[in-house]
Amino acid sequence: MKGIVFTTFNDMVENRIGISCWESLLEKVKPASGGIYTAVEDFPDEELVAMLGHLSSMTGKPVDELLTSFGQYLFHALATKHPVFVTDKTDLFEFLKSIDGVIHKEVEKLYESPNLPEITCEQASARVLLLNYRSPRRLCHLADGLIRGAAKQFNTEVLVSHDLCMHDGNDHCAFRIQKVDERNI
Ligand code: MNH
Ligand code: ZN
């Protein structure tokens, strides 16, 4: 996982909970980096997973829920760092359809060999987009948060359901994203 994911996780923990929480995560996980993460370097996925586990024990919130909150926070950070991807599109569904073929293609050039998921979209109707997620890292709850972060960015109220999940033995996760408000269609 690229350092930007870790630096953003560090920011979220420090801003939402406090620096002492981040320090205790470092004491428990003892990352080889000592907690000094740089944006384009790679760090072990296991470190993030371990930190989420400890954060879950500390807050009493389930890991999946923490990962979804983190996805929303991460979306905001990525959109701030790379504003062109969000200013380029006016509609949430058009944006989500551009992740695989445009955004993550550019990410391949900006970050050296990133570990990106495969995202495919199918527009089922004017108000419904089906989004499929595939990744050996099975970070679908992060994807859920990123989708919600994107919806907020585009001022679009949505209902998101996670209809198939890799954690239940499926070969991919399927999300159904429904626009609630007529004005966004
Ligand atoms: Mn996207 C990982 C960039 C929007 C889903 N994404 C990453 C990584 C970068 C990144 C960088 C880290 C790669 C690595 O660790 O090696 N993503 C972006 C940017 C935008 C973006 C710049 C928009 C701006 N990403 C989205 C959206 C989704 C998404 C929206 C929602 C479906 N991205 C992911 C997921 C991962 C990821 C999920 C985690 C990797 C994985 O699942 O294997
Ligand atoms: Zn899933």
Final residue of a structural domain among 19, 43, 61 = 61
Which tens digit of pLDDT belongs to each residue from 28-47? 999 999 999 998 899 999 99
What is the atom index within ligand 1 of the atom nearest the CA of 96? 30
pLDDT band at 90 (very low <50, low <70, confident <90, very high): very high
Check pocket membership of 29 for ligand 1, CB cut-off 6 A: no
Q: Is the CB of 117 under 6 A from ligand 1?
A: yes
Pocket test for ligand 1, best of 107, 109, 153 (most atoms within 8 A of CB): 107
- Based on the fold, state whether residues 87 and 167 are members of the same structural domain: yes
If we measure between CA atoms, which residue out of 135, 131, 142 comes closest to residue 73?
A: 142
Centre of ligand 2 from the C-alpha of residue 127, in Å: 22
- Does ligand 1 have an atom closer than 6 angstroms to the CB of 51? no
Per-residue pLDDT tens over the stretch 97-134: 999 999 999 999 999 999 999 999 999 999 999 999 99
> Do 148 and 57 share a structural domain?
no
153 neighbors 145 (Cβ within 8 angstroms): no
Nearest CA to ligand 1 atom 2: 116
Residues 101 and 168 in one domain: yes
pLDDT in tens, 149-183: 999 999 999 999 999 999 999 999 999 999 999 89
Burial class (CB in 10 A: 0-12, 13-18, 19+), 30: exposed
Helix (H) or strand (E) holding 133: strand 128-134
| Domains: count for the chain | 2
Q: 165 and 96 in one domain?
A: yes
**Tokens representing residue 6 in the block:** 């870790």
* Ligand 1 atom, smallest distance to 115 CA: 16
Q: How many residues does the chain have?
A: 185
The whole-model pTM stands at 0.95
Percent of the chain's residues with pLDDT above 90: 97
